[in-house]
Amino acid sequence: VEYQVLAMLSTSPERTMRLSALAEVTNASLSRLSHLFKRLEVRGLVRREPDPVDGRFTNGILTDDGFKTLAAAAPGHVAHVRSQVVDVLSAEQLRRLGMAADRIMSRIDTSEIN
């Protein structure tokens, strides 16, 4: 999830995303994301800013250090996922795995009582 957060931020405009949006795309709870983001912040990889438009939102921003750290980690991370997951399945199998996972996650999301 830490990698996902850094990666999502790196491809976003201004390298910025709302924490609630990050929680949603990573399928993490808001509480988990808040703790996780704090750890990244302590390490200097991200920072927070209240949304100037709507103060309820908090914007997460990737720092230059965070971008460098992501860039350094990416090749190894991608290679690892490829060798452990992607290369083990056919293109068709991988597509079907993704579809099944999406179905299950959306079912869980809609049935949850918060």
Partner DNA sequence: AAAGATTGACTAATCAATCTTT
Partner DNA sequence: AAAGATTGATTAGTCAATCTTT
Q: Which two tokens stand for residue 46?
A: 């991200």
Question: Would you say 60 and 68 are in contact if contact means Cβ atoms under 8 Å apart?
Answer: no
Q: Which uninterrupted H or E stretch holds 53? A: none
Q: Please tell me whether residue 76 binds DNA under the rule CB under 7 A.
A: no
User: If contact means CB under 5 to 8 A according to the sort of partner, which of DNA, its own copies, none does residue 45 touch?
Assistant: none
How many residues of this chain bind DNA (CB under 7 A)? 26
d(CA 11, CA 25): 13
- Considering only 5, 6, 23, 45, the residue that binds DNA (CB under 7 A) is 23
Point out which residues pair with 17 in neighbouring strands: 60
Q: How far is the CB of 112 from its own copies (least distance, A)?
A: 10
Our finding on whether 58 is near DNA (CB under 7 A) is: yes
Using the rule CB under 8 A, is 89 a contact of its own copies? yes
d(Cα 112, Cα 38) in Å, to the nearest integer? 26
Residues that bind DNA in the complex, under the rule CB under 7 A: 1, 18-21, 23, 28-32, 34-39, 48, 50-51, 54-59
